[in-house]
Amino acid sequence: MKTRFGHAVTVGAMVTTAMWLPALVPLATPHAQAVSCTVTVRLWPGTADEGVRCLEQRLIELGIPGIEGPDTLYDNTSIGAVKTFQVDRGLYPDGIITSITARQLGLRGAIAPPSAPRVTVIGDSTSASLRWYDEAANGTTRYDVMGSDYDLLWSVESCRRLVVRSCGARNDPTSGLRWTPMSVLPLMQSSLRGKLGEAIVIMAGYDDVSIATAIDSIMAEANAQGVSKVFWLNYRLTGSYNPAYQGRYRTHNADLEAARIRHPNLVVLDWNGYSYAQPASTQQAWFSTDQIHLSGAGGLALARYLKQNIDGYQIEQCEVSHANAGVPGGGGGALPSPSPASGFQAIPPTRVLDTRTASIGGGNGKVGADRTITIDLTANVPEDAAAAVLNVTAVDPCSRGYLTVFACGTQPGTSNVNYVAGRTTAGMAISMMTDHTVCVYSSAMADLVVDLVGAFIPNGALFHPADPTRWVDTRGSPAQVARPGRLIDTAQIDIPIAGVGGIPLDATAVWINLTAIDSPTPAVLQAYPGPCGAPPATSVVNVLPGRSAATAAIVELGSNGGICVRTYNGQPHVVVDVSGWFGGAAPGGRAFIGQVPVRIYDSRAGAPLATGATISLPADEVAVYNVAAVTSSTWGWVSAKPCGVNATSSMLNTSILETTANIATVERGSDGHVCFGVSMRTDLIVDQFGTFVVV
């Protein structure tokens, strides 16, 4: 889209050979302790003005070498320093000190403090009013809406496309040459690489024919650079601009909605719906006659809309200064010895850590990247407990990473829960303890929630493995117990276990795999001893809208011989698979022996597994495995079963280009092997955490 204004505009762009940029040391980020003087006039290269003295004082403060002065001549050294600063901040490097460049330099009012989260705004001419009207009026009204609370990179320009080459925008104000802005993805990968911050805002793509693949490419780059949230404004539909484009924009919006399911940290802002919800007089004041480009009033409304939405996500929680829980590193000390043979003892589900809540071990923010937090279970587990059974959840992670649960000491080279930015992910862990403590290591910033559900103790209930069996499927597929229909918010269902499907009446607990499927809103599932009644303040499964997620759980059987599954929120279909039970007088029960977790298979050393592939691993005993599907090619599932058994259940569900994991206990097949199958191309990791042995 062509610019419709004649005044000078600064914008992020590639640097052409016509623009001289001296070799300078990297610029420091401006801070609130700026110089006391201000620059309220536009300074052009070569200008002689008292404002230059203030500018050069600021450049010296930022550590720029070779600045002559400060004096009143805006010379080549200072011009080069300003151009470098503009590139570093996503602005067009013309060397002109406009109101926005001066504002970012700290020469026109206080700027955000060093602790402020960074937000990078990348847009085309539909959002350029955020800057154009400020610069035309030599003011900062629109910038100030967000600029006092966030460290802004402000890169908006006409005709910007997402990935393919942008169209010609305007003439360079100093050289007069026609200039083409850098498209969004190349801009992220070049001058803004490593500078994007906690969040980016995208309001571009109106000149793109299709955006489906561009969305995935931009999201992949944002994730690779550790961006926690991507706010993407959908496209305003109007026949006033170009009727031929309206079908294109409808497709853009549909593509964004589909991408929101694939990318947990993509927030689609309904600019189309929000702007059309305004009175006709307001819309007339906000938009030009084409009903897409904004007026000055519209630019101010857009700035307020963005701030309101970004504020709501509290992206400052992903600032390093807000992630002080835990201690650096993965711990150290002697590795624990294998635990003695023990059986399961249920413990009423108890929340033993929630970094969001001061009374449950919180108060220091998220667990920081590469940090470990210690949980003392002395008051929660029996004195003779050899291992703890936990449900561990990474809540609203800031970037891709994993959790490792282990007996405090030396961290093993394994993982229990894998997550990506914005995807709250839960998993069961069976961990040995060091003096009744367990440690949880997080490779990236995330809040942690840990629920205790049981322990393994001498003379506890022994385990009886079974072939994986589909017990409940609310979608109506064949299952042991019929429970049709989605579970709505707060609904709960009793599921009989003892006395059904070969499980004896005197069983005391069950090993299940609980899956939440295709909820239209975020969903959380709980599981606790039946009959259904007052639920505990704990959870088992977390899943995003339109997705599937599975988590293993060991659940005590209640007085009715069953369990209760409850939807804390959401409206998912529910699948329950059973792979064994605990307790009872039947012979052949097995005791758990914990071990230092060890990685026994990792396909990343070679080629990924192909769609439909199965791997066979030798097993001496019934073992406990944590299985991770790494960067899967598409939606799918991974199964775990004794080789030679025609099982019908899955142990985990995969997401496109993400890593998902779950724990399972698998009996050996008649050939002494266990088999892991995949429905899609993916890398696979298998870690072993212990065995169940006959006693």
Q: What is the pLDDT of residues 609-625, one digit of tens each?
A: 999 999 999 998 999 99
- At residue 319, the pLDDT reads 86
**333-355 burial: b if 16+ Cβ within 10 Å, else e:** eeebeebebbbbbbbebbbbbbb
Pairing of strands 118-123, 199-203: parallel
Region 533-537: what's the mean pLDDT?
A: 95
pLDDT at 30 over 80: no
- At residue 401, the pLDDT reads 96
Is residue 448 within 8 Å of residue 352, measured between CB atoms?
no
Region 672-692: what's the mean pLDDT?
A: 96
Pick from 144, 74, 146, 63: which is nearest to 103 by CA? 144
- At residue 519, the pLDDT reads 95
Instruction: Kindly report, residue by residue over 59-105, the tens digit of the pLDDT.
Output: 998 888 888 889 999 999 999 999 999 999 999 899 999 999 999 99
- Banded model confidence at residue 31, pLDDT cuts 50, 70, 90: very low
CATH 2.60.120 fits 596-695, yes or no: yes
Pick from 591, 657, 654: which is nearest to 624 by CA? 591
- At residue 500, the pLDDT reads 97
Instruction: Kindly report, residue by residue over 140-157, the tens digit of the pLDDT.
Output: 999 999 998 999 998 999
- At residue 330, the pLDDT reads 80
- pTM summary value: 0.84
As its CATH architecture, domain 463-582 has: Sandwich (2.60)
pLDDT at 3 over 60: no
Looking at residue 237, its amino acid is L
- At residue 336, the pLDDT reads 84
pLDDT at 28 over 70: no
User: Directed axis angle between helix 129-136 and helix 296-312, to 10°?
Assistant: 130
Q: Locate CATH 3.40.50.1110 in the chain.
A: 119-316
Sign of CA dihedral 183, 185, 189, 193: positive
> Residue 372 and residue 325: Cα distance in Å, rounded?
8
Pairing of strands 371-376, 327-328: antiparallel
- For domain 323-456, which CATH number applies: 3.30.1600, 1.10.8, 2.60.200, 2.60.120? 2.60.120
pLDDT at 15 over 90: no
Region 595-607: what's the mean pLDDT?
A: 95
- At residue 479, the pLDDT reads 93
- At residue 197, the pLDDT reads 94
Which residues have C-beta within 8 Å of that of residue 320, sequence separation ≥ 6? 368, 445
**Residue scoring higher pLDDT (22 or 30):** 30
User: What percentage of the chain has pLDDT greater than the value 90?
Assistant: 82
Instruction: Write out the H or E segment, with its range, that includes residue 646.
Output: none
Sign of CA dihedral 353, 357, 361, 366: positive
Instruction: Kindly report, residue by residue over 542-589, the tens digit of the pLDDT.
Output: 999 999 999 999 999 999 999 999 999 999 999 999 999 999 999 999
Mean pLDDT, the chain, whole residue set: 91
Q: Locate CATH 2.60.120 in the chain.
A: 323-456, 463-582, 596-695
- At residue 180, the pLDDT reads 86
Region 307-323: what's the mean pLDDT?
A: 91
Residue 62 has φ and ψ, to the nearest 5°, of -80, 0
- At residue 1, the pLDDT reads 43
Helices (H), ranges, 263-351: 271-276, 280-286, 296-312
- At residue 2, the pLDDT reads 36
- At residue 457, the pLDDT reads 98
Region 528-539: what's the mean pLDDT?
A: 96
Region 310-320: what's the mean pLDDT?
A: 91
User: Directed axis angle between helix 243-262 and helix 212-224, to 10°?
Assistant: 40
- Banded model confidence at residue 608, pLDDT cuts 50, 70, 90: very high
**CATH no. for 119-316:** 3.40.50.1110
Helices (H), ranges, 531-684: none
CA angle, 42 then 45 then 48, to 5°: 75
- At residue 186, the pLDDT reads 97
Region 263-288: what's the mean pLDDT?
A: 96
Is residue 621 within 8 Å of residue 644, measured between CB atoms?
no
- At residue 322, the pLDDT reads 86
- At residue 172, the pLDDT reads 61
pLDDT at 339 over 80: yes
- At residue 189, the pLDDT reads 97
Is residue 547 within 8 Å of residue 262, measured between CB atoms?
no
User: What percentage of the chain has pLDDT greater than the value 70?
Assistant: 93
Residue 57 has φ and ψ, to the nearest 5°, of -60, -40
Instruction: Kindly report, residue by residue over 159-199, the tens digit of the pLDDT.
Output: 999 999 998 766 665 566 677 899 999 999 999 999 999 99
> Residue 425 and residue 433: Cα distance in Å, rounded?
23
- At residue 577, the pLDDT reads 95
- At residue 231, the pLDDT reads 98
pLDDT at 21 over 70: no
Instruction: Kindly report, residue by residue over 239-255, the tens digit of the pLDDT.
Output: 888 888 889 999 999 99
Region 296-302: what's the mean pLDDT?
A: 97
How far is residue 112 from each of residues 143, 570, 608, measured CA to CA in Å?
A: 12, 38, 46
- At residue 170, the pLDDT reads 67
- At residue 115, the pLDDT reads 83
Residue in the structure block whose two tokens are 């705004």: 121
